[in-house]
């Protein structure tokens, strides 16, 4: 997100202690990493056979926590030929005062916040085992993840992931989107938390993302934001099925200064 007039800073991070490290050899840890990357690859393929609705809301908050600016977009998502397609169903005119949504924010909304680590993406990241911790009573392996190197124009996830110790799929992520910024750019990105749920009895799908952070800009000013993203109405379809959407509307972008 980019500041327009003002800028903001600080997300309260809930730190939780996890159980002492299990006695896992380095070889076993590497096997687990490879296994969950393989499972995430299977999930990515399976997700291409589903449609779902994504509802994203962003609020600017004042010093008392009151909403003073809004941005919202409701979209139907489908993956024809393995490529993500988004059809905007509703996009009210935004009333954000101090920040604007950037292309990097849009990339994070599409790919980084519902983070999936496939076998193909694994070489792009450092992955370090932290220990075991329950996520909503689900025993999980916890890993720290950060990009090994960053290329211009690409967005990456940096943070922590919780991997179900039975299904070996990501069930929770906590971190932020990162990437190289253009010279002179002053874009700041919130920390977020994404939860998944088992939708079809086999794969864990992202269902909810939330962020409540204060973005600190180089101007010295700060802006608190609250963001929620809901991924709902997952429906499986066959390739020969005809997918019908709601009446599309044109998205109205906030005019940049």
What pLDDT is recorded for position 158? 98
**Residue 66 in 3-state DSSP?**
coil
Residue 17: pLDDT above 70?
Answer: no
Burial label, 114 (beta-carbon count in 10 A; 0-12, 13-18, 19+)? buried
The yes-or-no verdict on residue 112 having pLDDT over 80 is yes
Using a 10 angstrom Cβ sphere, with 0-12 exposed, 13-18 middle and 19 or more buried, the burial of residue 66 is exposed
Per-residue model confidence as pLDDT tens digits over 179-203: 998 888 889 999 999 999 999 899 9
3-state secondary structure 3-47: ECCCCCCCCCCCCCCCECCCCCCHHHHHHHHHHHHHHHHHHHHHH
Indicate the range of 96-100, 177-181, 210-214, 235-239 predicted with least confidence. Answer: 235-239
Average pLDDT over residues 99-117: 95
Domain positions in the chain: 2-12+23-236
Q: What is the pLDDT of residues 149-170, one digit of tens each?
A: 999 999 999 999 999 999 999 9
């Amino acid at each position: 997100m980019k500041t327009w007039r003002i800028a903001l800073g600080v997300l309260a991070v809930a730190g939780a202690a996890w159980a002492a490290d299990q006695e896992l050899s380095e070889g076993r840890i590497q096997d687990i990493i490879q296994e969950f990357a393989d499972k995430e690859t299977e999930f990515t393929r399976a997700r291409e056979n589903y449609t779902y609705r994504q509802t994203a809301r962003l609020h600017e908050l004042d010093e008392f926590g009151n909403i003073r600016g809004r941005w919202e977009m409701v979209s139907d998502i489908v993956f024809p030929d393995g490529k993500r397609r988004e059809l905007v169903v509703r996009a009210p005119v935004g009333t954000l005062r101090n920040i604007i949504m950037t292309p990097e924010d849009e990339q994070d909304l599409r790919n980084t916040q519902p983070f999936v680590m496939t076998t193909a993406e694994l070489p792009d990241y450092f992955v370090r085992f932290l220990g075991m911790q329950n996520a909503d009573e689900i025993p999980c392996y916890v890993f720290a993840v950060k990009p090994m190197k960053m290329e211009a124009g690409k967005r990456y996830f940096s943070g922590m992931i919780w991997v179900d110790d039975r299904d070996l799929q990501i069930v929770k992520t906590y971190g932020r989107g990162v990437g190289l910024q253009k010279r002179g750019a002053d874009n700041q990105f919130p920390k977020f938390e994404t939860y998944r749920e088992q939708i079809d009895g086999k794969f864990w799908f992202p269902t909810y993302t939330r962020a409540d952070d204060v973005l600190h800009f180089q101007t010295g000013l700060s802006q608190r934001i609250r963001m929620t993203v809901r991924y709902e109405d997952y429906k499986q379809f066959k390739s020969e099925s005809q997918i019908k959407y709601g009446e599309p509307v044109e998205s109205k972008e906030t005019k940049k200064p």
